[in-house]
């Protein structure tokens, strides 16, 4: 059975004090929640990570992730954070390739391939994001674009390595816009991604891969999206900034 993952992406929100307050509230809500084949991952700003690791150290089903990392282990890269630093801190997950990193910072598949390799080498599990902007969706190019993103950044990996990857499909037109892909649209793209993996690595590998949906998931639509057969949870943005909303989404998974 594939693992269900409800991951929070706080983006550039919350001061240190606000973040700790939110983390404690989420811990209180989720500490006794059902955990069979389901985990939560809180991907927070860097300033929170050390405290998050300590906060959730004794909670087996709540994990911590970073929102990005550099492709080098160390060096003269002012303002960056390396996968080695994250791993040494006890952070197990890292988001790579989020649409905002692609759009605002020019990240492409060649760079993301290097980041994936370094993250895996440091025993971090990448949450690899892929997805299409509105203009690509409207010209029916969404499947081809996602195929390119996944193949160029990930398909150099071994079958064992691909098993360490979590993929998050995020229709860019549904991030922070209030729009959301229909459950059927989400299922179509998740099935497409899983088939891409099956064609390259085999059905057994593809069937174990967790694929998350990211794009304006809220308590009132989470259950309909998560019940789709190839949707294994969500990468949650705005709704993860309120403990009650994130808890409701987790419970819907």
Any idea which residues carry the catalytic annotation? 98, 170
Chain centre distance of CA 76:
28
Q: Are 237 and 9 in contact (CB under 8 A)?
A: yes
Q: Are 96 and 68 in contact (CB under 8 A)?
A: yes
Would you put residue 140 in left (φ > 0), alpha (ψ -120 to 50) or beta?
A: left
Q: Tell me the HSE value of 4 on the side-chain side, using a 13 A CA sphere.
A: 19
What the block records as the tokens of 245 is 């909303």
Nearest to 49 by CA among 87, 83, 81, 89: 89
Tell me the sheet residues that pair with 128. Answer: 96, 167
- Sorted by sequence, the CB contacts under 8 Å of residue 9 that are 6+ apart come out as 43, 67, 95, 98, 214, 235, 236, 237, 240
Chain centre distance of CA 245:
18
């Amino acid at each position: 059975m594939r693992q269900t993952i409800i991951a929070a992406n706080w983006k550039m929100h919350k001061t240190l004090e606000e973040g700790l307050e939110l983390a404690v509230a989420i811990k209180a809500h989720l500490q006794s929640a059902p955990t069979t084949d389901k985990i939560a991952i809180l991907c927070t700003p860097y300033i929170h990570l050390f405290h998050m690791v300590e906060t959730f150290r004794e909670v087996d089903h709540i994990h911590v992730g970073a929102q990005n990392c550099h492709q080098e282990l160390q060096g003269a890269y002012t303002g960056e954070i390396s996968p080695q630093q994250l791993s040494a801190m006890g952070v197990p997950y890292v988001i790579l390739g989020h649409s905002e990193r692609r759009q605002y910072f020019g990240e492409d598949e060649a760079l993301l391939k290097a980041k994936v390799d370094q993250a895996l080498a440091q025993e971090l599990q990448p949450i690899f994001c892929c997805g299409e902007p509105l203009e690509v969706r409207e010209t029916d190019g969404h499947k081809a674009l996602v195929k390119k993103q996944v193949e160029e950044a990930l398909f150099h990996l071994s079958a064992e390595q691909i098993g360490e990857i979590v993929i998050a499909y995020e229709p860019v037109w549904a991030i922070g816009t209030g729009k959301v892909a229909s459950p059927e649209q989400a299922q179509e793209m998740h099935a497409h991604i899983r088939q891409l993996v099956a064609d390259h690595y085999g059905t057994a590998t593809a069937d174990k891969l967790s694929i998350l949906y990211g794009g304006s998931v809220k308590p009132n639509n989470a259950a309909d999206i998560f019940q789709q057969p190839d949707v294994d949870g969500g990468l949650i943005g705005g709704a993860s900034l309120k403990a009650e909303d994130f808890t409701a989404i987790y419970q819907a998974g």
